Structure 1
């Protein structure tokens, strides 16, 4: 592991300050969602993707749009529907009558932050069109690979209570999401603050009315990502991450525990969280803080456990409680 130069250290510090200010800017439009904002920033730093889950009306779309505005990055939104085709996302070849040739017309995936709205409302064939983009950061059309811009992240949303007419994401695709974040219904005080803002003429369709400024940019994300890769992980903390994953694999309530990809994901999110917290090393508390959002969506319950009302999060909490914490 190579150390950062003095210039890189200075750039990383500026980036941390700038990314810290992003939360304040997003809060001008979205009330009390600091955890979700932090998760999206962590995913950008770790080059991962986020699945946002919440009932309609909890500001999932507004959150992503506000984040893009505060980061000064390009964003596009795709409403996933049953008739959406793969080419509608990745792009397709279009015949140019002027040149008598086929030219590639890029789809909405060619952006920095792609909002895949209600991703579980489109058939698996279209869902899988995102897999190459998420994993390889490229799309292949007519045998040619086309690179996506940097940074690139998919923020997908889904409704946790309405399943009619949906296509649940398979385990293989869920495993591609670095984190899953639940956006609950707001507390009473938060909802009152939302009404106060709307009464003061806040328009969620016009972010300019909220006064959101671009306080960070792609260069800050790049500097931050470079600094995150230098965050130290002690051998016993790395062993703790592995032991947590292995504990889920032996749980009698699960038919599928955390995969090796899950352990690397937990390492990545823990390092990013440690860096955002102002440290250059990972602690067991960092691992615990990121475990639920990084691991829970990768666990598959046995049918009998589901019938008993057991949740994957509860199984994960039990595993966290059972694995000895390094000192």
Structure 2
């Protein structure tokens, strides 16, 4: 079933309860960017999208009967703007919500100047799909460390450090739902084709740490993976296999980029080669598929430079 942008969907995977998600239409691409809502004693929004369609999140809260003043938590797995770009907008609209942010990146949401500069360098002309993030008053931010717990009532968000994709990334375990909000630690899930894809953007991607993050997720052993990109996926007793499949995807992707670099001996040509790939064009459209591949290739090239 294809989701409709802005429509509230209940997460029915596994034994999940009180959890909903919407497609924010990120990059004008269906089934690429999800935002989750946990309807509990202390309601929470998990992930916030680019900020461009933040009003869809507010409309979803209203549809679920959650007043803006009742929202207690806005939690982001990391500060990349496809995850945290809407946090300032939601904080402004929901005055009683704390913004829960991994500690290493919290300052960049208070003053997002360097975050915007880095994002523009990473995404290139995709910046047109973004809006300038709103700075968040420091007093509204709760900095998260590994092992912290955000109490929502029946549900809680247990914080697990997962810095392979970005040094400021965590994942949130919801034990009551036997689920994990994966951020980008478990890759990109493509519901249409039921395949897992790599995500390796510059400048923090680190293969070995990503593989350690997969081990972290395997140790949690969730029944349901709640991907920001995209949607809920029930893995049941096969969680370890599903996560190991992502480890394999990452290792093969890095090897492929390294081989192409050795062949072409020119990084610009390597990036152009992958940008011209048609592999995901039928799912995401040519523009987004090409931009995604180019960005991921740049991340791997930077990792290879650091490694070597």
State if a TM-score over 0.5 links the two structures.
no
Choose between structure 1 and 2: higher helix proportion: 1
- TM-score relative to the length of structure 1: 0.30
Larger Rg computed on CA atoms? 1
